[in-house]
Amino acid sequence: MGKKIMVLSGSPRKNGNTNTVVGWFIEGARDAGAVVELIDVASLKSKFNGCIACLGCQKSDKFECAVDDEIKPVLARIPEKDVLVFTTPVYFYGPSAQLKLAMDRMYSLAKFNPHTGEISHPLGHLTLGLISTGGGDVNRGLHIVEQTFSTLATSIGSKLESLLVPFASMYSDDIKHNGELREKAMAFGHKLSVTE
């Protein structure tokens, strides 16, 4: 069996640029033998508008969220994967709110010791991936989004592999006909499926 990959799709536009690239990525990953689980986080029903800092996850001996909704079981499956890929358009110089909501709830997958500052988690084996599309050049939002996920990767002792797609305006569907980008996205899927 190939690598187990979870893709958290954070675009609310089902047929938009980000999801087009994600489709190509998944095609490449599956061609390389990976088992891919695609989660449309934009459609998940959340009991609250984000993490409510109830600290229920910190009071439990389990690495799980205390809030029982559609996001909770998705979070619970993350440690079982080999690769976790975040996908998002750039929305006002950051990731989409839909993706950020799910990402914030990942707090439940770590235990923080307030006395020693130590953090324990079951995520160190994960490779993190990022697919992000933006309407401007790489320096107008895409690098800021990448820095967010790079910081997350560093915090869990992992690394981040990125595919940043500039000049992908939501006002155009030209990207759907970009054969060079399709090949690049498929190659990125293959790379994350075989990376040790």
Taking only the tens of pLDDT, the chain with its 196 residues reads: 689 999 999 999 999 999 999 999 999 999 999 999 999 999 999 999 889 999 999 999 999 999 999 999 999 999 999 999 999 999 999 999 999 999 999 999 999 998 998 899 999 999 999 999 998 888 778 999 999 999 999 999 999 999 999 988 888 878 899 999 999 999 999 999 986 6
Query: What is residue 160's three-state secondary structure?
Result: strand
Can you give the CATH number for the domain in which 48 is found? 3.40.50.360
pLDDT at 195: 65
- Helices 179-194, 17-31: inter-axial angle, 10-degree rounding: 50
| Domains of the chain: total | 1
Q: What percent of the chain has pLDDT over 70?
A: 98
Distance CA 76, CA 80 (A): 8
pLDDT in tens, 62-84: 999 999 999 999 999 999 999 99
pLDDT at 171: 80
Cα diameter, the chain: 54
pLDDT at 196: 62
Q: In 3D, which of 5, 154, 155 has the Cα closest to residue 87?
A: 5
pLDDT in tens, 131-149: 999 988 887 789 999 999 9
Provide the residue range defining the domain that includes 165. 4-194
